[in-house]
Amino acid sequence: DVKVTQSSRYLVKRTGEKVFLECVQDMDHENMFWYRQDPGLGLRLIYFSYDVKMKEKGDIPEGYSVSREKKERFSLILESASTNQTSMYLCASVVFSGNSPLHFGNGTRLTVT
């Protein structure tokens, strides 16, 4: 079974802090994604990566950056956390073809105070 592990289930940070959300997958998937989920808005794509050191902006990249130094790990970075980044963050990975479903982590509930 594919396992996608997010480093923290709950996180509380202060405004202005630099925040790292880590995601690791164990199935050698090329493609990894970071989404945030807010009530009534569904999952919105922040960034994605097709390969090591490769990244592309999703629909809402402002205020975020990412890092993919190794194939199995995809990190989401909040350079200076703000209260509007309080959200549920989900990481996902897939061996890409359009016929393959995403495998998700359990999510990180981030609260910025």
Residue ranges that bind another protein, judged by CB under 8 A: 4, 31, 35, 40-45, 48, 50, 58, 90, 94, 96, 98-107
Encode 5-56 in three state secondary structure.
Answer: EECCCEEEECCCCCEEEEEEECCCCCEEEEEEEECCCEEEEEEEECCCCCCE
Closest of 78, 34, 38, 39 to residue 57, by C-alpha: 34
Question: Is 38 or 79 the residue whose CB approaches another protein more closely?
Answer: 38
Pick the closer one to another protein by CB: 79 or 95. Answer: 95
**Shortest separation between residue 104's beta carbon and another protein, angstroms:** 4
Q: Toward another protein, which CB reaches closer, 48 or 64?
A: 48
Give the shortest CB-42-to-another protein separation in angstroms. 4
Q: Whole-angstrom Cα distance, residue 27 to residue 112?
A: 32
Closest distance to another protein from the beta carbon of 26 (Å): 14
